[in-house]
Amino acid sequence: MKNNNYLNAIYKKPIEHTPIWIMRQAGRYLPEYREVRKKAGDSFISLMKNPDLACEVTLQPLKRFKLDAAILFSDILTIPEAMNLGLSFGKGEGPKISKPIVNKSDILNLPILDTANDLNYVYKAISLIKTKLNETVPLIGFSGSPWTIATYMVEGGGSKTFTKIKSMMYKNPKELHLLLENLTENIVDYLVNQVKTGVDAIKIFDSWGGVLGRREYNEFSLRYMIKIVEKLKSCFYDKKIPITIFTKNGGLWLEDIANSGCDMVGLDWTIDICDALDRIGDKVAVEGNMDPCVLFGTKDKIEQEVEYILKQVNGRRGFVFNLGHGIQKETPIESVSTLVNKVHHYSAGECY
């Protein structure tokens, strides 16, 4: 790998500078992405399921910015889409599922996918991306967490109150566990195939774990992510595939996440980086955690925030710079350039 700073940072090896990639780095803030979206008929699903276009979109941000990793262009809801639950994305809206899970019968009728075939378009995209990258930077694969995917499947889309999934959790916890077990099995198979196809690292996005209390988080979210980590590690015991767990609003449970067996913990911006590092210590690497809205600030403000985070890190091995959540579609491109350049220039030559 020509630029191996991302993987080296996770394993606390020497690096040339603090590595950076950005959640949703391939997306609507880039005019070239918007043009490719038009090629796909302005349909997110059509774009996601077209390996050539998914490859093109994955590589777009790397052509603009000196990022230290690529991330597969896909979605956390590929599994329910493959289950024929009626996934759609309305213009300017989040995901919708037209056939939500309502009862135990719905859960029992869910398939265990043949992900090698049912999600073959993802693996074709990975193969294309790896060829185009030509070992310049690592490629990150990913999945949503079982809890997060289940939330969309039960709620029928996004939610502000999570009433349906929480009602199931408190009224029929055994049924919810059945759903989470099904999703865990499918996710493991999906991620194993991603690794076999060529991704260099895995990230589990637990977007909705933070809506739970601690006991519920451990039982219904972290428990299943631990199973995924354990199974992936056992499948690839002779090959290092670093796994990151990111729970949005998960700052209360950093120690629990760090003890999950993962290699890196992703942080959102609601926790101070210094506090997180003090609590996690050297157990695992840390990724984060600038507020995406800082990129709407002035050039000076963006650089100040970068300096603050890197000063708190203070040359500690095992740190990857990222935003605390996905980049927003209105983000100025020049702000992203400022961010990436500042991270590299400020951290270059420090005690790594």
Architecture of domain 5-347: Alpha-Beta Barrel (3.20)
Give me the mean pLDDT over the 121-146 stretch.
98
pTM across the whole model: 0.96
Question: 3-class SS at 157?
Answer: strand
pLDDT range class, residue 352, cuts 50, 70, 90: very low
Q: Cα–chain-centroid distance for residue 327?
A: 12
| pLDDT, position 42 | 77
| pLDDT, position 90 | 74
Asked if residue 207 belongs to a known ligand binding site, the reply is yes
pLDDT range class, residue 94, cuts 50, 70, 90: confident
Whether pLDDT at 283 is above 60: yes
pLDDT range class, residue 315, cuts 50, 70, 90: confident
Asked if residue 64 belongs to a known ligand binding site, the reply is no
Q: Tell me the average pLDDT of the chain.
A: 95
CA distance 54 to 220: 32
Asked if residue 24 belongs to a known ligand binding site, the reply is yes
Q: What percent of the chain has pLDDT over 70?
A: 98
- DSSP labels, 201-224: EEEEEETTGGGS-HHHIIIIIIHH
Of residues 107 and 91, the one with the higher pLDDT is 107
- DSSP labels, 91-134: TTS-EEESS---SHHHHHT-----HHHHTHHHHHHHHHHHHHHT
Whether pLDDT at 330 is above 60: yes
Catalytic residue list? 24, 28, 37, 75, 152
E strands, the chain, in order: 70-71, 87-89, 95-97, 139-144, 201-206, 243-247, 264-266, 285-290, 319-323
CA distance 19 to 7: 9
Asked if residue 318 belongs to a known ligand binding site, the reply is no
Torsion of CA 221, 48, 153, 258, to 10 degrees: 0
- Reported as a single tens digit per residue, the pLDDT across 25-83 is 999 999 999 999 998 887 899 999 999 999 999 999 999 999 999 999 999 999 999 99
CA distance 181 to 343: 40
| pLDDT, position 349 | 61
Q: How many residues does the chain have?
A: 352
pLDDT range class, residue 351, cuts 50, 70, 90: very low
Whether pLDDT at 350 is above 70: no
CB 250 within 8 A of CB 210: yes
Domain boundaries, given as residue ranges, for the chain: 5-347
Asked if residue 152 belongs to a known ligand binding site, the reply is yes
Asked if residue 26 belongs to a known ligand binding site, the reply is yes
Give me the mean pLDDT over the 311-340 stretch.
96
| pLDDT, position 87 | 95
- Reported as a single tens digit per residue, the pLDDT across 150-202 is 999 999 999 999 999 999 999 999 999 999 999 999 999 999 999 999 999 99
CA distance 128 to 115: 18
Query: Nearest to residue 191, comparing CAs of 113, 96, 246?
Result: 113
CA distance 78 to 144: 9
CA distance 40 to 25: 19
Give me the mean pLDDT over the 119-136 stretch.
98
CA distance 87 to 186: 17
Give me the mean pLDDT over the 336-341 stretch.
98
Question: 3-class SS at 313?
Answer: helix
CA distance 248 to 210: 6
- DSSP labels, 224-240: HHHHHHHHHHHHTTTS-
Asked if residue 75 belongs to a known ligand binding site, the reply is yes
CA distance 71 to 139: 5
Q: What percent of the chain has pLDDT over 90?
A: 92
